[in-house]
Amino acid sequence: MRDFLKRLPKAELHLHIEGSLEPELMFTLAERNGVALPYASVEEARAAYDFTDLQSFLDLYYRGMSVLRTAEDFHDLAMDYFRRAHAEGVVHVELHFDPQAHLIRGVELETVMEGLGLARRQAERELGMSTALIMAFLRDRPAEEAMSVLERAAPYWELLDAVGLDSAERGHPPLKFRDVFQRARLLGIPRVAHAGEEGPPEYIREALDLLEVCRIDHGVRCLEDPDLVARLRDEGVVLTVCPLSNVRLKVVERIEEHPLPRLLDAGLRLTINSDDPAYFGGGVLDNFLACEQAFGWSEEVFIELAGTAIEAAFMSRERRLALH
């Protein structure tokens, strides 16, 4: 089964590029840039990745990315991930990035875009991989700041496949970002949002109704609201589910209790993703394998999940046809 899952062409729709920063590269970049880290070694960093909830992870995630300073750093970060993903049979990656987390440290949007752009072109050339770019807004910061980032990104609007919404969910409903997402809609930029990871089903409804998103990131808490599940099924809304992330952030106690089988039985369109692979114990293939072990899914189930990801990806018609 491992060989089959590895060979299966996989598209990843939910990946935070800053969450792909492995401790080894974190230490290399810390030295290169003279940034102090709160860990004495790679092992100590890994041992600290023991989370109680989303916020306890975000604290280390924002701390970790402080080593990213130059365009070269962002290039190295993304290429490091693209190479690992390629080795796992991932053929297409959609990367979220968090410009505000860099701007507030004095790292310009131009620096981030230059580095990520270089890596994306290199991945296409050297690995035959396609990628898409999702500029995410931090929901625990003011909506006005998100709006100003969207305007500041004007030179890059054409390069953005979508805008997204991430960071601490509780207490920060999609409603807060209605105007920002409306502006993105008027600019012709598609929209996605994290909703129903730690937040209630109501946030999923708001993301659909107020932000007019085309996909929901996570969405697992929809099961608490049967009418919402029916709506997601009827409208064919795709959820980008991240099972190992949900275990590590205690959204579920154990992978065996993960709602994926129930979501599948409910007829929802699902994809399997890694979220923050450096922090949660593995990439897309590891997430597929964890599901195989926990749920005993057949090859057909994985073919369906991988097919849904390719259907729901931001990719050209030609690329989709080539991968299907």
Residues serving a catalytic function are 197
Site for ligand ADE in 174-203 (CB under 6 A): 194, 197
102 known ligand binder:
no
- CA dist 264 and 144 (Å) reads 38
Minimum CB–partner distance for residue 159 and ligand ADE (Å): 21
Site for ligand ADE in 272-291 (CB under 6 A): 275-276
Query: 4-33 mask for Zn ion (x: CB under 5 A)?
Result: ------------------------------
Give yes or no for residue 80 binding ligand ADE (CB under 6 A): no
Find which of Zn ion, ligand ADE, none residue 120 binds, CB within 5 to 8 Å per kind: none
Minimum CB–partner distance for residue 24 and ligand ADE (Å): 20
Bridge partners of residue 239, in order along the sequence: 216, 270
194 known ligand binder:
yes
- CA dist 306 and 138 (Å) reads 29
- Which residues have C-beta within 8 Å of that of residue 300, sequence separation ≥ 6? none
Minimum CB–partner distance for residue 19 and ligand ADE (Å): 5
**DSSP code of residue 7:** H
Minimum CB–partner distance for residue 136 and ligand ADE (Å): 7
Task: Select from 91, 62, 115 the least CA-distant residue to 279.
Answer: 62
Please answer whether residues 78 and 19 qualify as being in contact, where contact means their C-beta atoms are separated by less than 8 angstroms: no
Q: Which two tokens stand for residue 297?
A: 């899914």
Bridge partners of residue 92, in order along the sequence: 11, 130
- CA dist 137 and 191 (Å) reads 11
Query: 206 or 275: whose CB is closer to Zn ion?
Result: 275
Find which of ligand ADE, Zn ion, none residue 19 binds, CB within 5 to 8 Å per kind: ligand ADE
Q: Where are the alpha helices (H) located in 128-177, listed in sequence order?
A: 143-152
Query: 266-295 mask for Zn ion (x: CB under 5 A)?
Result: ---------x--------------------
Please answer whether residues 277 and 19 qualify as being in contact, where contact means their C-beta atoms are separated by less than 8 angstroms: yes
Q: Where are the alpha helices (H) located in 49-108, listed in sequence order?
A: 54-64, 71-87, 99-103
276 known ligand binder:
yes
| DSSP-based three-state secondary structure for 246 | helix
Which position has the token pair 């060979």?
7
Query: 150 or 216: whose CB is closer to Zn ion?
Result: 216
Give the interface size with Zn ion as a residue count (CB under 5 A).
1
What's the Cα-to-Cα distance from 240 to each of 29, 30, 234, rounded to whole Å?
30, 32, 17
275 known ligand binder:
yes
Which of 73, 166, 206, 292: binder of ligand ADE (CB under 6 A)? 166
Minimum CB–partner distance for residue 215 and ligand ADE (Å): 14
- CA dist 68 and 72 (Å) reads 9
Give yes or no for residue 19 binding ligand ADE (CB under 6 A): yes
Residue 173 sits at φ, ψ, to 5 deg, of -70, 155
Give yes or no for residue 292 binding ligand ADE (CB under 6 A): no
Binding residues for substrate: 276
Binding residues for Zn(2+): 14, 16, 194, 275
Interacting residues with ligand ADE (CB under 6 A):
16, 19, 54, 61, 166-167, 194, 197, 245, 275-276
Interacting residues with Zn ion (CB under 5 A):
275
